[in-house]
Amino acid sequence: MIRTGTGDSIRAWVVYPERSTKAPVVLVVHEIFGLSSWVRGVADQLAADGFIAIAPDLLTMKNLPEGPDSVVAPLATAAIRTLDPGWVQQQLDAVARYGMSLPAAQPKYGIVGFCWGGGVSFAHAVHAANLGASVVYYGVSPKTSDLPLVRAPVLGLYAGSDARVDATIPPADSALTALGRTYVYNIYPGAGHGFLRQQTGMDGANMNATKAAWPATIAWFKKYLES
């Protein structure tokens, strides 16, 4: 449990890497399905790749029942639509401060999110002036009027068969390029929304996307958080 304000706390899944030096922190923002076993597995993998990974449960205060993902997911999907975006960003700020205060941590952090969490991770690049790097998996881009506030480098990883999300890429790209910000994106042909979770889908396209996207994610964080 991480204190996030007066009388507020949020639970989180925290995973440490095995390394002899201090590690950067990476926040992992869950999908609309909540803090699922899959998201915890993503945090586990980030730790295996050398980062302190923290996956906050942004539905902590919704008091969802304990149970298998198949039971919790529909309840989480409904509850997540009631979250205030500003409140979400405040929680992430607090989790980032907690992470960077850990004795094993470097004073640097990044963020990665998926689906709903992908949009949140892009919005966090707008919100947080001290963010080191953001990775967006198939999440919508912020409003172009908000993009001048982006300072951290953003990597976008998108599915070719995801028209709703992909429609938000060109405006963001044009605006961030004009502003001189770092925004790199990849659209994986034939892959579907949620490809990292559903790796066996779309006749192999999701697996091809995964094999390219995850190494790109690790390289992005190593480049901007380890240097």
Question: Has residue 49 got a pLDDT over 90?
Answer: yes
Q: What is the pLDDT of residue 66?
A: 87
What's the pLDDT at 193? Answer: 98
Separation of alpha carbons 149 and 158, rounded Å? 22
What percent of the chain shows pLDDT beyond 70? Answer: 100
Per-residue pLDDT for 50 more than 90? yes
Specify which residues 192 forms β-bridges with. Answer: 161
pLDDT at 5: 87
Number of domains in the chain: 1
Where residue 157 sits, what CATH number does that domain have? 3.40.50.1820
Rounded to whole angstroms, the Cα distance separating 206 from 192 reads: 6
Locate 17 and state its tokens.
Answer: 């890497």
CB count in 10 Å sphere of residue 115: 21
The CA-atom distances, in angstroms, between 127 and each of 30, 43, 165, 178 are 18, 23, 20, 19
Contact residues for 67 (Cβ-Cβ < 8 A; gap 6+): none
> What length is written for the chain?
227
Res 227: pLDDT: 72
Band of the pLDDT at 125, cuts 50, 70, 90? very high
Greatest Cα pair distance, the chain, in angstroms, is 49
* pLDDT average, residue stretch 174-192: 98
pLDDT beyond 80 at 53: yes
Structure token digits, residue 210: 């995964």
pLDDT at position 181, please?
Answer: 98
- The parent domain of residue 88 ranges over 2-225
